[in-house]
Amino acid sequence: MASNSPSVTDAPPAWRAAGLRYHSYGFALRRRFGQRVQRVSVDAGFTCPNVDGTVATGGCVFCDNRSFSPSRRLPRTTVAGQIDEGIRRLKRRYRVERFIAYFQPATNTYAPVERLQPLFDQAVAHPDVVGLAIGTRPDCVPSDVLDLLAELATRTYLSVEFGMQSIHDRSLDWMNRGHRHDAMIDAIGRSRDRGFEISAHVILGLPGESDDDMRATARELARLDVDSVKIHNLYAVRKTPFGDEVLAGRHQLMTREHFVSILVDFLELLPPRCVVERVSGEAPPDFFIGPSWCLDKPALLAAIDHEFQRRDTHQGLGHATNQ
């Protein structure tokens, strides 16, 4: 499995030596590329098998792609055109010259390789792009697609982000995923040693999941030895089945205090080499229902750091005691 992350045997790992409490994505990218790198979102126009009727209809109960993907809220142009526009926007906000093209909304391997390859090649060819991140589902990576991804990884940095969400099949059934956890185990097994990084997207705060359930997901991620993880709190957006349930008072969203506590538990259980790409999620105001605390990211990050300091702990501490 390709990774630029420090080994578990590093004492301390480089991110700890830098004074961090967890192996942040920004730190990992700077270490790999020697400078700041930002992701630029790309919408290649895909759908999902739980939207088009292949395995289900309606999509995930919490999902409106426009709420978490900037590229899906804009008129779609070519991949190169979207990258150019995204770079212009990011350069107005940050001092950054290099970018990762992030194929973000929907399932970005849900097509024949003959359609996929030209889209990915456009991104690789952009002079300011130093890598690709491709978001997909674990049930949408047949062997010929994995072969294509492996070939791309010989030409550029590549991270493949699998929507894991939870290891608990009852949660996957609730969210209308159309697959179960065995699909994730299979996808990771077939993705190993192909030259690209394996990333997992997980959600904390799913209805019916206890703290022990969420810690079990962290332990499974550690067992699967993924290269990176993206963690989101469950939030509600308008015009989705879950959003309607929240507005009707049938679901309670996590408090910030609860989320911070279980997130730190979660990170403690991950191995030190695992890169933490995100620790929260939110949506634009015109889509967003709640919880309101996740909109104040500086305060949330401060609360997470405070909890680590209060415990005098860091990522990997619980992982080490579970070996």
DSSP labels, 256-305: HHHHHHHHHHHHHHS-TTSEEEES-----TTTEEE-GGGG-HHHHHHHHH
* Dist. CA 276–CA 267, nearest whole Å: 8
**Predicted pLDDT of residue 72:** 45
Say what the pLDDT of residue 19 is.
95
In this prediction, residue 64 has a pLDDT band, given cuts at 50, 70 and 90, of confident
CATH number for 14-317 (one of 3.40.50.1360, 3.30.70.1450, 3.80.30.30, 3.40.50.2000): it is 3.80.30.30
Kindly list the domain boundaries of the chain, sorted by start residue. Answer: 14-317
pLDDT in tens, 248-279: 999 999 999 999 999 999 999 999 999 999 99
Which residues are 24's β-sheet partners? 276
pTM: 0.91
Query: Residue 162 corresponds to which amino acid?
Result: F
From 160, 206, 163, 157, select the one nearest 183 (Cα to Cα): 163
132 beta partners: 101, 158
| Model confidence band, residue 76 (pLDDT cutoffs 50, 70, 90) | low
In this prediction, residues 64-68 reach a mean pLDDT of: 58
Strand partners, 202: 165, 231
Contact 35, 26 (CB under 8 A): no
Q: Calculate mean pLDDT across residues 100-106.
A: 96
Pick from 75-89, 134-148, 201-215: least confident: 75-89
pLDDT for the residue numbered 285: 86
**Cβ neighbours of residue 85 closer than 8 Å, sequence gap 6 or more:** 74, 77
Q: Residue 67's pLDDT band (boundaries 50, 70, 90)?
A: very low
Predicted confidence at residue 32, as pLDDT, reads 96
- Please indicate whether residue 214 or residue 71 has the higher confidence score (pLDDT): 214
